[in-house]
Amino acid sequence: MRCPYWKTQDGFEMQFGVNHLGHFLLTNLLLDMLERSQPSRIINVSSLAHTRGKIRFDDLQSEQEYSPGPAYAQSKLANVLFTRELSKRLDDTDVLVTAVHPGLVKTELARHTSFAKSKIASLTLAPIAWVFFKSVRQGAQTAVHCAVADDIESGLYYSDCKAKEPAEQGKDDRAAKQLWEVSADLVDLEKTI
């Protein structure tokens, strides 16, 4: 989350590679098994940060311009778009696909943010901020809910155990399809499967 610019071992911008391409490839590698095991569910951990995201097809790897916040938001928007497209592709199956926002959770995930690095913030604001953060158990509740509840609808975005409207850019079917095609090409999906 909001890390400095660096690349995965496979050469992808770290946030896009870990937060999106990793989900994308793993899910596709497991898809045959998930379809054979119906009913089954796929839960992609996204974030409210997707609302600030923009898929920059002309610079997905942030090689021309990198900023930690926008790169993170793009990767989380990619989770929402991936969920949307995968759900359409699995429409005639009993495999449900959801994207979830766990909330602000007390973890070390934000260790690269200026807030986490600031001594003043850690001494003055952090104790107050932690009151508003969820515990790890609380943060997991929406994902658990989507894994077991009977009223889950495929292709939706969930937060606080309820379906919520994603940002407008998270409902762009054309972008979702294009992202799928670009992602499949980036991870050599046809060669892998």
What is the secondary structure of 45-106 as a DSSP string? E--GGGGG----TT-TT-SS---HHHHHHHHHHHHHHHHHHHHHHTTTTTEEEEEEE--SBS
Which of 2-16, 100-114, 157-171 is predicted most confidently? 157-171
Q: What is the pLDDT of residue 111?
A: 43
What would the pLDDT profile of 46-64 be if each residue is shown by its tens digit?
Answer: 999 999 999 999 999 999 9
Q: What is the pLDDT of residue 135?
A: 82
Q: Is 66 designated active site?
A: no
What is the torsion angle, in degrees rounded to the nearest 10, for the CA atoms of residue 99, residue 102, residue 107 and residue 108? 40
What would the pLDDT profile of 87-128 be if each residue is shown by its tens digit?
Answer: 999 999 999 999 999 976 455 555 455 655 556 656 565 666
147/144 Cα distance (integer angstroms)? 5
Q: What is the pLDDT of residue 151?
A: 96
Q: Is 105 helix (H, G, I), strand (E, B) or coil?
A: strand
**Options 5, 72, 157, 158, the catalytic residue:** 72
